[in-house]
Each structure stands twice: as structure tokens, then as C-alpha cells.
Structure 1
Amino acid sequence: MTGLTSEERDLLAPVERATILARTLDWAAINSGTGHIEGLAAMARQLAEAFAVLPGEVRLVDPAPVDKVDSQGHAREVVHGRHLVLSVRPQAQRRVILTGHMDTVYPADHPFQTCRWLDENRLNGPGTADMKGGLSLMLAGLAAYERSGATLGYDVLINSDEETGSLSSAALIAELAQGKLAALTYEPALPGGQMARARPGSGNYAVVVHGRAAHAGRNPEEGRNAVLAAGDLALRLAAMRRPGLSVNPARIEGGAPNNTVPDLAILHFNMRPATPELAAEAQADIRTAVAEVSAAHDVHMHVHGHVSRPPKAISAGTEALYGMVSKAAADLGQPMSWKDTGGVCDGNNIAACGIPVLDTMGALGGSIHSPDEFLLADSLDARARLTALVLRRLDRHGVLPA
């Protein structure tokens, strides 16, 4: 840590791993799968109590309404947990936003519910890397920053639905991102400290296909097979793949008994465009494919969904932010690099607001979204120090072009 001033060394000295790790273990013991509303409520209470040590107002915000197509082809409202917002020095002229999520991909009945040590540094557990370790170190970094005569204002947003696309928190993300100098998001970095650079966009869709039922033996020609039409559409969507665009037909629901021409099917698919232009082109291609398949099979189709995660491009401001953070990491003895990735997160939404964002500021770890998920314990205090140092340098100097 040769690049630090004496004041910066004093700022970072109190940061210690044990407290951050203990908090991570406590939070990982709470199941907060996106659909587990009671678990999310318990997690939100824990977070509200923990973040209340910072000099700001903590509030819980109700989720925006979200519909999802069910197995019968009907749009039903999906219940989500509340989102946590902390506002510190809201009147400050220079402000940043820090974001994370309290939900995990593990539902209440998933067998992966406890933590265990794989070795002296690797902790295997649900949400340890993604991202309860990240939330815990974010808090430690903010607490350290506040000891430095802090003047920078900031909002902290911890949503309850990131793992399913942040549909109930997207408007809140956009509202809080406006006017910010920069954004830090606490998704996990890779074990070597590699950070995410550009990201594609992402959209989840459900196409409801209504055909006509008929007896499969007596009068099949009078039926209109919804499953067959959904399969035809799936093949056409898969054929849309090209450089910068992936389309993944994932599931077909519906159908009927073997002796009946099925009159209902629901095709679910995901689309990931690398640029807004590709997103617009793909949207037009989807409309064309739906119209052609509807006519060919004499069925009715309704498309539900959109690109909810805009593509994350790298602006000059983002380059400057990364340069500043990577310099701080180097001064702390933490090697850092970044590369483009195929994943998406709330950093996509923030970047779409024109705000420079670095979205892998969390714990180092791997195998996320699986029972093999792990974090590296020594990254907890290291990344907390990085957060504190980055905020102090933003406060004292700023890094971004006017």
C-alpha cells in the first residue's frame, strides 16, 4: 500500500475482516430468495438496522406493480419485497449512488441453505458472494469513509428483485441515479479481481399462443395446434442469433392430452442485444416472426415482455471512473482488470441514465447461482478499504470529465 497518504492510511486502519465476515454469515443464514417475501422482510429489517449507523435516513419503499404470464396464459401480478433506501447529505452538491440487492436465487425450499468453509479462505454459502458479502463490505467501507470528515452526499439502494430483472425497482433506480457523479454497484468480482466492463442488454418474454382445440383422431384438421406454432416461433427466434445478439428459447408451457389438438401454449425466451440498435432490430424481427407464424398456423399470439436491462455501453466517464478505482486498488495492493461480460445487472439500468458506473465492487468469489457459490473471505476487508478510499478520493478530488 505504497500509494497512500498518511491520512488515507489512518482512514483505512480500523477496517477489519471479522466484523464484516460475521455480518455476512448472519445475513447468509436468512433465506431471501426473490419470491420468499417473509425472508426478504426479515433481511430488510436486518439491513435497515445495520445501515442506520450511517448519518442518514433509512426507508423501505414499496415495490412497483409487476405482471407475469402464468401457465394459463394470463398476466398475474407478482408480489415483491420492499426496497431499502438510505439517503445521506441529500443537499450536497456532489453526490454518488451505491447499489446492491438483498435477494438471492435460492427459494425457501432449496436445499442450499447453510454456509461451510471449503478452506481457510473460501466460504461456500447461499448469497455469500452474490451479494451479502458485498452488502456487508459496502457498509464497512461507508462507515470508514464517514470517519474522514465526509462531505460527499450519497444514496444507497438495496433492492429485493435484482435476480429477476429489477422490474419492481427499475423506476426507483432511475430516480435515484439522476444527477449523480458516479455509481458503485456491489455485484461480485471474479476471484482474480477482474471487473465487468461492457454488458449486453437483456429482455425476458412470454408469447401466449391461442389456437383451436379439436379431436386428434376425428377432426384434427379443424384444430389449430398452439404447441406446433410455439415450436415454429422458437426455431425462428433461435435463427435470429448473430454477432452481438443472442436469443434463447427457454421453455414451452401448455399443451393438451394426447388425443386433443392443443389450443394453448406459452413460449418463454430471453434476448440479449449488445447495443440499443440491435435491440430495436431484434424487436422488429420478433414482430415479423410473430406475424408470419400467426398467419401460417392460423393462431393468435400475444407478446408479453421487453428489454428491461438496456445494453451497458462504456462512456468516457465510465473509463475515467475505472481508471480512478483501478489506481486506488493498485495503491492498496489489489490487482484489478476488467473485460466485457455477457451478464446483466443494475449497472445496466444506471448506465442507461448516463451515469458512470462500476458494477463489480463487491466481494471476490465464484460459482454464483449454484450450490457451489463461494466468496473469498480476504476480499471482504480489502474491498471495504477500496470503497472507503474511492469515496474519499471522489470527495477530495473528483475524477470525471465535466
Structure 2
Amino acid sequence: MRILLSAVFLFWALGLQAGGLSPQEQTLVDAVAEREPAARTLLERIVNINSGTGNHAGVKAVADELAPAFEALGFSVAWVDGKAFQRAGHLLARFGDRGPKLLLIGHLDTVFAPDSQFQRYQVIDERYVKGPGITDMKGGNIVMLMALQGLKDAGLLDQLQIQVVLTGDEEDRGEPLLFAIEPLRKAGRWADIALGFEDGDGDPTTAVVARRSSANWRLEIAGKPAHSSQIFREDIGHGAVYEMARVLEGFRAALKDEQLLTFNPGVVVAGTDVALCDDSRGTAFGKLNVIARKAVVEGDLRALTPEQQARAWGIMEGVAKQSLPHTRTRFTHTDRYPAMAPTDGNHALLAVYSQASQDLGYGPVRAVDPRRAGAADISFVAGSVAQALDGLGLMGTGGHTDEEVADMHTLKSQASRAALLMHRLAQP
């Protein structure tokens, strides 16, 4: 069924001709625009609620503000308590029993803790507004809601089956990971199409058809301690630091030509006695005249496809095994976010979205460079659905900093494009 859907959408997208909006579609666009003033008020309200991932009460408070808006559209709403994965939880909403099955994805949490100095919605001028999480991604949640409200007001919402998942831990994933992501993955197994309302690269002329994976790796290296004057002796060897340098340079040399693959050693500790804690804080003790006994390195890896990631792991394991004399290296890795591969189905969905944008007068939309789109919730479901598209949210700059600014001119345009996309996906 999903292969068929992908082929149908691809055929349709390739055959589209720019023809403007039908009267029904114009009604939809007008309905979205009428919702903008109330949407801005709701956005200000939720931006002013601190919902840093660790502030469980704040995350739940944002959910409590959004839930009634979904219920007013006829959605059934549920809260998944996050105690089992050490987070606040997730907000789920469901609607409809006919038409294409759409999964709409957002998140409730931000990177700003309660003690951050950046806490309030601040109007800069008639176009720009500053605020914690305003683009990443409270604004995206409002874009999603405006699109659904427009569909409802235009009498078009019942052409779709929709599940909404607003996670409470996108910025700092809960543990165990499988518990944290199960509601999202379950919705992905149900859906035909996934739409993500992150802000992508902040450019309204782009959308996301591919996201690289996010995974962690670790090197634990043991050497033979001795007086520094004896290093390189046949019975002493090279020590842990030279072995560490060999492995890291081996990674670089072997993988440097892999397109869109990155692998970064982010934390290094080395010496006679070392420790590296779960929060990436390390300690090391050693002496200048003693060969290092131990080194620990932790880093991340980003790959465009599952196949590329698996190939990289194999190469890195092979490099690590070729230890220098009297050293021993243990290489381990942990997958976190899977890759959202750039499939034909995703590109076909982008073509439909781009045509909708052009018919609305906003111009074409192209695929964003995957280097400019980090890992996100949609990655957990992209492999389960026929089509996936992300970066549909409120645009702006400065995400994850106290200079996070939204371009409010994109609120209506993004919501209109999303609403028209969903409507067109419902057409036979």
C-alpha cells in the first residue's frame, strides 16, 4: 500500500501544472488567515511558559494550553505520562476515520532551563519577535494548529485521518530510549505520511526531505605505563595517547571522502588515571614523565542513510582493532536518532508542497542541504511511512540561543502552505 501511495504521489507531483487556487482552496486560505490573530496570542502565551526539557511541570503546562485547541477541532486528546522514561511526557491527539493517514509531529520542550535569563516573548518590531523556543518549536506547533483550524473552518478536515504527536523530550531524549519514542513510533507505523513542523534551516524557500542520523561512539584505550624515557621500546610500546592519535587519524583518513558523513571526537581525557562521566565531564591525572596508561574519547557521528552509518561503524571498528604494540583499544557505539533518508517518496511530497507554495504566490520550495538540518523526531518514523517532509514550521534565526527570533510574516504563509498541502493530499 505504501509503495503504491509513493508511486501515485510521484506521478501526480510530476504532472502538476501551476493553476492557482480553486474556489474551495481560496476559502481554505482565507480561513487560515482569519485564525492568525488568535494564533499569535496563543503563541505568546506558550512562549512565556518555561518548558525546558527538565522542567516537567512547564512542559505539561504547554500541553495543557494546546490540548483545548485540538479538542475544539474534534480531536480526541491524551497525555502520555513520561515517568517511565524520566521526562514530562507527550501530548497525543487523533481525528478522523477516512482519507490518507497523516502524522503531524511537533515538540513541547525547549533548551532553556528555568534559571535561564531568556524567558519572555519580546516584540522587536512589526515583523520580528524574540522568545525562548519561538521557532524551535512552539511556533511550529502553532503553524500546525492554524493549518488544522483552517481545514476545519473550510469544512475540509474530515477528508483526513490525523494523528498529532507533540513530544516532551525532543531536546533531551528520555531514557530508556525505546520507552521515550514508542508513542511516536507507534503513530509512524499507523501513518502513510509524516509531516514535521520544525523550522528546518529557517529559510521558507526550503523544506527537509532528509535528516542525518545522530549516534554516539566511544574509545577506551589502554597502554603500558612506564617512565617516559622508555616510550617506543619494544617491551613498553607507544602508550595510550599515541594509540588514541592513531585511531582518530585512522578514522579521518578512512572516512574523509564519505559524502555528508561527519564524525567528531568531542571529549578526550588521557593520563595515568582518568574518568569520563555521563554528563561529559572528565578528570585526568598524570605526570609529564610517565607514559599514559589510559585514554577515553567520546564523539558523535552523523550519516545520511542507515547503510552509510553501518558502513562507517564497520570501518571504525576495523581501524580500532589495529592496535599499536602494548596497547588495546575498545570501540563501542550507540545509535540515537536514525537517518531520514532522501527517498523518492519524500521528494514527491516536496513537489506537491512546492506546487502549493507557488499557487499561493510564495514561490517554489527546494530541498534543504542535509548538513543544515539536524536530527529531529521525524527521523524515528521516516523509515515507516511512504512519504515524510519536515521543516514546515515558523521560520526565524538563532535557535538554541538567547537570540532566537521568529519572522512572524511566515506564520500565515507557513500555515497556509501546510493546510493546502494536507487538503491536496486528500484529493483522489
Structures share a fold, TM > 0.5?
yes
Partner residue of 2:262 out of 246, 257, 260: 246
Q: Quote the residue 2:404 is aligned against.
A: 373
**Structure 2: how far apart are the matches of 1:379 and 1:137?**
9
Q: How does 1:23-102 map to 2 (within 5 A)?
A: 23-63=42-82, 79-89=86-96, 91-92=97-98, 94-102=100-108
- 1:255/1:219 Cα in 2 relative to 1: closer, same or farther (>3 Å)? farther
Q: How does 1:297-376 map to 2 (within 5 A)?
A: 298-299=327-328, 301=330, 303-306=332-335, 308-315=337-344, 317-339=345-367, 340-342=369-371, 343=373, 344-376=375-407
- 1:326/1:196 Cα in 2 relative to 1: closer, same or farther (>3 Å)? closer
| Aligned 8 A contact 1:237 1:249 in 2 | no
- 1:192/1:281 Cα in 2 relative to 1: closer, same or farther (>3 Å)? closer
In the alignment, is residue 171 of structure 1 matched against residue 199 of structure 2? no
| Aligned 8 A contact 2:221 2:243 in 1 | no
In the alignment, is residue 161 of structure 1 matched against residue 165 of structure 2? no
**Structure 2: how far apart are the matches of 1:151 and 1:312?**
29
Does 184-193 or 120-129 show the bigger shift? 184-193
TM-score by length of 2: 0.78
| Aligned 8 A contact 2:135 2:199 in 1 | yes
Deviation sequence 1:342-390 (CA, Å, 0-9, x none): 1232333332224211101111212222222211112112222222222
Query: Which entry has the higher C-alpha Rg, 1 or 2?
Result: 2
**Structure 2: how far apart are the matches of 1:238 and 1:387?**
41
- 1:348/1:249 Cα in 2 relative to 1: closer, same or farther (>3 Å)? same
| Aligned 8 A contact 1:95 1:181 in 2 | yes
- 1:119/1:274 Cα in 2 relative to 1: closer, same or farther (>3 Å)? same
- 1:283/1:365 Cα in 2 relative to 1: closer, same or farther (>3 Å)? same
Deviation sequence 1:214-244 (CA, Å, 0-9, x none): 7989999999966665555444334433232
Q: Quote the residue 2:285 is aligned against.
A: 257
Amino acid at match of 1:19: A
Partner residue of 1:119 out of 106, 121, 125: 125
- 1:195/1:223 Cα in 2 relative to 1: closer, same or farther (>3 Å)? same
Q: How many residues align?
A: 382
**Structure 1: how far apart are the matches of 2:110 and 2:57?**
13
SS at match of 1:162: coil
TM-score by length of 1: 0.82
Counting helix residues as a fraction of each chain, which structure ranks higher? 2
**Structure 2: how far apart are the matches of 1:263 and 1:354?**
49
Q: What 5-or-longer segments of structure 1 have no aligned partner? A: 67-78, 398-402
Give the percent of matched residue pairs that are identical in Structure 1 and Structure 2: 25
Amino acid at match of 2:21: L
Q: What 5-or-longer segments of structure 2 have no aligned partner? A: 1-17, 269-275, 277-281
- 1:215/1:371 Cα in 2 relative to 1: closer, same or farther (>3 Å)? farther
**Structure 1: how far apart are the matches of 2:334 and 2:74?**
40
Does 251-260 or 353-362 show the bigger shift? 251-260
Does 213-222 or 361-370 show the bigger shift? 213-222
